[in-house]
A and B are shown apart, each in its own frame.
Chain A
Amino acid sequence: MTDIITDAEEAGFANDRTQSNTLGEAARAYVNRVRGGDMGALPAILGLLVLFIVFGLANDRFLSALNMANLITQAGAIIVLAMGLVMVLLLGDIDLSAGVTGGASAAVMGLAIADHDLPWGVAVLGALVTGAVIGLVIGLIVAKVGIPSFVVTLAFFLGLQGLLLKLIGDGGSVRVDQEVIKGITKNNVPPTWGWVLAVVVIVVYALLALRSHRLKVSKGLQHQPLAVVVAQIVALAVILLVVTYVLNLNRAPNAGFVIEGIPYVLPLVIALLIAWTMVLGRTAYGRHVYAVGGNPEAARRAGINVDRIRISVFMFGSSMAALSGVIAASNLGKVSTSSGGGNTLLYAVGAAVIGGTSLFGGKGKARDAVIGGLVIATIANGLGLLDQASYINFIVTGGVLLLAASVDAISRRRRSATGL
């Protein structure tokens, strides 16, 4: 922190800038922010573009509609798990048990359907409650006993694998045959409804963004230039329409069959993205989560119940893990003793960090999970198409994670140096 106040800063508030007037100025301000270390989602988006270009050139099947649909169903479970982890990471905590929490919760769902013939809704609710209870216990231990979350969740990582073994039995697995559960990843939204959904999302987003912009201008508050708002709307519209178009193509490998439409998992992910973006960005609860992650002592003095925030965040994180376990079970068609183990958790942490969530707490958004999850899934998918040995997959993913964590650490240093 510099003690020198420049003239420009000194002049400051008197003519407090409420906007950068032109698109050019806004772009320059953005470049300055990025150079100052506030990168946001930029590295991940650029990385995703590079991956798409490289894999697209290396294998002509990569960009096919069939593979894009595969990519989305593969990314679904990672993204949902990563969304839960973003919340935990926002507090500066970690949940190493999130993957196996998903596995254990999915096992509860699978057994409820297979052994007890319960309706799918009840079974999924059971999985979510399982996740929430696990999160509650972890949160209570971390907040009230004061053990670092790293250690607590490492213990749960081991313990829950034992629970999973007990539930399913050695080496066995539970088949997930229920139509609706399987349908999350296997069935598709009818193409017409896909278009309707895409257009509705675009129109609602555009109306909200324009209304908020008008309100800010009329009250003389800080706002972006209209051109930037419009550019954001157009970018969203283009992405959604292109994705909808590609997924609405017939992607059946054999003539005579028709497979078309958006896999149901995509609208599910978008709904979760909107919900968490609203909760974190627009509610007092979300604001308090950021505050606790930034400075717990300041949050406490501001009258925020820090323990309650921490416990609730672990509950939300584990519930999202449970949902992710359900999606993974849908994609795999079964829950096995290794569900949620292996690299599941590390992929999700990697996704959150690659997307721009800081490991140091206080910085991150729900969209980080989506962008980072797509990067991770793209690496696995693309290398799979190139028939690479699986060791390459591990090495590349590890390298990307390391790169993302370095970007986080270095940009953090630059931020404190430039004071952005």
Chain B
Amino acid sequence: MSTSPLLELRGINKSFGVVHVLHDVDLAIYPGQVTALVGDNGAGKSTLVKAVAGIYPLDSGEYRFDGKPVEVHGPKDASALGIEVVYQDLALCENLDIVENMFLGREMKTGPVLDETSMESKAREVLASLSVRTVKSVRQSVSSLSGGQRQTVAIAKAALWNSKIVLLDEPTAALGVAQTRQVLDLVRRLADSGVGVLLISHNLTDVFEVADRITALYLGRVAADVATKDVTSRQVVELITTGTSSDLDGAAAPSATA
């Protein structure tokens, strides 16, 4: 890797009671790159994401941001670092419009009064910078948007806050072909703007299309952390289902040099 990771987890362990979910997991997210997190159901993807987002406290392990160790005790700490999560159920209010949703909870104000003009300008700016062309108007209500458009709004909302890292949980899971296309393009543009993106996905086609690196989880351990160009789809499937890949030498002991 040419650059150093923006966010790095080292030797993360997490248990729920007697269930040891994450075993010595290492994860690195680089600025300007899309890192895909793949793994079967129950491999620990969601737990890892929630650990990054500060929702679950870590049992042991090191949380490094921008090269420095940091303490993350809650979602507020994570968002203070510039980490935004887009959850699978998008957490948008259907009765509010796009601008209102993007600024929800962080409204811009002049005195006690909402500064609608600044918010609308800023929202427009962000959508334009991500080349979002799929919404008719920033003042239409979210209930009128299609699934792909909602995903777009949710991602743009995460990008609005000069976030450094955006975690996307299965952003294309419920989308049709054309909409998946749009969302993947958006993910790419988000990374190209310098944001570190972690993409959780089941869909290997999506992963190979947009990701720079792939981190595969198998039963709570990192099975591989490889550059996308160095692996084939078949090898990744092997990693997901068996935890090893016969013809992928050395990748099973990843980030030893990181």
Contact = CB atoms under 8 A, between A and B. Distances in A.
B146 A1 contact: yes
Contact of A415 (B106, B114, B143, B145): B143
B137 A222 contact: yes
B133 A284 contact: no
A283 B107 CA distance: 9
A385 interface: no
A219 B146 CA distance: 28
Contacts of B114: 282-284, 287
Interface stretch (B3-11, B93-101, B201-209): B93-101
A212 B137 CA distance: 19
Interface string B118-145: 0011001001100011111111010111
A227 B117 CA distance: 21
B144 A5 contact: no
B56 interface: no
Contacts of A295: 91-95
A362 B95 contact: yes
B65 interface: no
Contact of A215 (B106, B117, B124, B144): B117
Contact of B91 (A16, A221, A302, A415): A302
B123 to A, nearest CB: 10
A219 B121 CA distance: 8
A278 B114 CA distance: 10
Interface in B138-162: 138-139, 141, 143-149
B134 A5 contact: yes
B17 interface: no
Contact of B134 (A9, A288, A301, A416): A9
B220 to A, nearest CB: 26
B179 A5 contact: yes
Given A283-B114, A294-B96, A221 B137 contact: no
Nearest to A15: B133
A362 B97 CA distance: 12
A38 to B, nearest CB: 9
A115 interface: no
Contacts of A297: 89, 91
Q: How large is the interface on B (under 10, 10 to 19, 20 to 34, 35 or more residues)?
A: 35 or more
Interface string A274-307: 0000100011100110110111011101111000
A398 B192 CA distance: 61
B95 A294 contact: yes
Contact of B133 (A1, A11, A216, A290): A11
A92 to B, nearest CB: 11
B121 A302 contact: no
B133 A2 contact: no
A278 to B, nearest CB: 8
A297 to B, nearest CB: 6
Given A290-B96, A419-B144, A301 B138 contact: no
A123 to B, nearest CB: 30
Interface string A1-12: 111010011111
Interface of A: 1-3, 5, 8-14, 16-18, 215-216, 219, 221-222, 278, 282-284, 287-288, 290-291, 293-295, 297-299, 301-304, 362-363, 415-416, 419-420
5 contacts: A3-B179, A11-B133, A13-B127, A16-B136, A363-B95
Given A5-B146, A215-B117, A295-B94, 13 more contacts: A3-B147, A3-B148, A10-B133, A10-B134, A12-B136, A16-B136, A284-B109, A287-B114, A291-B100, A294-B96, A295-B91, A419-B145, A420-B144
